[in-house]
Structure 1
Amino acid sequence: MTVNIYGQGCSSTRKARKWMIENKVSFVERNIRDEPLTVGELQEILRLTINGTDDIISKRSAPYKAMKLDFDELSLLELLEIIHEQPRLLKSPIIVSEKKLQVGYHEEEIRQFLPRKTRKFQWLQWRMDHFNPVEG
């Protein structure tokens, strides 16, 4: 399983990259300012969201504020074309695998990208560390 990290060179993207390296997760990183996501790639990301474009658009970003558009009035295709032209509209990073999505860097949630066996082993190790009877 290869994970894609779509970021903008921000600290959250750097944290995600560091976490992937430390946990030996295979990933490909892409700076979306230099190489914006295509409309097709955006559609693939959206199929993994719960709240559609609300999950990936940064309403606090400068481009979002400057545009003064009613994004709800746009068709999905129009909106995706605008995002392609203005990648800074996206939250960063967007971390994607075949069936998993994480928007932003969240230390607990990023564990979903570990292989199941690794997650299970770490969970068992954590339980042993935290629930061993105290000897005395």
Structure 2
Amino acid sequence: MLFLCYPRCSTCQKAKKWLEEHNIEFTERNIAEENPSVDELQTWYKQSGLPLKKFFNTSGLVYKEMQLKDKLPSMSEEEQLKLLASNGMLVKRPMVINEDKVLVGFKEAEWGALVK
């Protein structure tokens, strides 16, 4: 399982602790140092079944500075994926990816399904 996080993010720290407490093996990847690629994002987006907007860190400084709330609706899917791939701080975190699931953000109830 791949665990995408930003180590200084308190929610990511909680999620990592939760994974460890549930003895779930994972590979950690710092989203700020190793941005997801367009291909990875496209795969995860399709696998997740979520709207692409859910992959944006809407509470982040970069998102707000770029005024993406107003710009995203008029951007194509391809443009949005390229934008996400350009800066890991735009990507919602934490994220876990395994063979059949992609979870974006940390919600214990959703993540609980991983251990069943």
Letter in 1 for 2:78: L
Query: How many percent of aligned residue pairs carry the same amino acid?
Result: 29
SS at match of 1:47: helix
Give the drift of 1:52. 2.0
Greater relative CO, 1 or 2 (CA 8 Å, sep 6+): 2
Tell me what 1:73 maps to.
Answer: 74
The CA distance in 1 between the partners of 2:77 and 2:95, in whole Å, is: 19
The CA distance in 1 between the partners of 2:46 and 2:64, in whole Å, is: 26
Give the drift of 1:39. 0.4
The CA distance in 1 between the partners of 2:58 and 2:18, in whole Å, is: 26
RMSD value, Cα: 1.5
Which consecutive unaligned segments of at least 5 residues does structure 2 have? none
Structure 2 matches for 1:59-70, cutoff 5 A? 59-69=58-68, 70=71
Which consecutive unaligned segments of at least 5 residues does structure 1 have? 120-136
Q: Does 1:25 align with 2:24?
A: yes
The CA distance in 2 between the partners of 1:60 and 1:17, in whole Å, is: 20
* TM value normalised by structure 1: 0.74
Structure 2 matches for 1:23-102, cutoff 5 A? 23-69=22-68, 70-102=71-103
In the comparison of the two structures, how many residue pairs are matched?
A: 113
Larger Rg: 1
Give the drift of 1:61. 1.6
Give the drift of 1:43. 0.6
